[in-house]
A and B are shown apart, each in its own frame.
Chain A
Amino acid sequence: MNRILEEVIHRNAPIVDRIIAEHTAGYVVADNMANAVAETSFDNTSAQALVKHLNGTLVPACQSVVRDLDPTNQLTYMRVATRKFEYLVAPEEYFTITVVQ
């Protein structure tokens, strides 16, 4: 699974560069199987904290809420805005992308 993920990341490298060049503070790509950080533009400790907090607790809670409201539904995108930053979280099938801006 990690190999496939690395390939996908390498293929999307120009897109990632474009995203970073915009008004973002950074991004984190995590794979869902191990809840581990696959690629990030932050330093490792804060990226791991981000992944552990967001992906570990909040995203599954949101998914379960969405499924409670309608069982055929599923979470596609989530956006948490704070005073300083905004976290854009996109959970896919095998991985989760989080962008901080």
Chain B
Amino acid sequence: MSRISKMSVVERPSQRASKSAAVSKKAPPRDRSYDDDAFVSLFAHRGGRDIIIMDAQGVPLRSTSSQKRTLMYVSNLKPLLFMARNVVRDLDPSNDITFMRIRSNIGEIHMTLGSDFNLIVVQRFRRKFGTKQ
């Protein structure tokens, strides 16, 4: 645990505050290996903006953004994800949604629907015709 805070303080102090705030506000706090933080920092370097991990009900467990923004994302995207799952089941009852990807002018949102968790990843494009990296 000390290793996590040391790494975060060196690289991203603001994110460290939000991460610890996020973990403390959303109970119960989960302990993960520090591979999780390496994953998050690598992903942020590649143009990823936010990662939100939710459980199967759609309750956010961990997030890389502030509480307000996470709630905004989740309250908008969670019904959409469940609606998409219903649409797919309507079209073909044996089919089940695994992944959903929404792309707009500004960014891209990936949503994964697993058996016991959901994952949302938000990516932004840096410039209009620049590389997304």
Contact = CB atoms under 8 A, between A and B. Distances in A.
Interface stretch (B3-11, B17-25, B56-64, B83-91): B83-91
Interface in A63-77: 65-66, 68-70, 72-77
Interface of A: 49-50, 53-54, 57-58, 61-62, 65-66, 68-70, 72-85
Given A62-B102, A81-B101, A54 B76 contact: no
A56 to B, nearest CB: 9
A57 B88 CA distance: 12
Contacts of B84: 58, 80
Contact of A66 (B92, B101, B104): B104
Nearest to A80: B100
A68 B98 CA distance: 24
Given A76-B103, A78-B103, A81-B101, 18 more contacts: A49-B90, A57-B87, A58-B83, A61-B83, A66-B104, A69-B72, A69-B76, A72-B106, A73-B104, A73-B105, A73-B106, A74-B104, A76-B105, A79-B100, A80-B88, A80-B101, A82-B92, A84-B94
B88 A82 contact: yes
Contacts of A81: 97-101
B87 A69 contact: no
Contacts of B95: 82-85
B91 A49 contact: yes
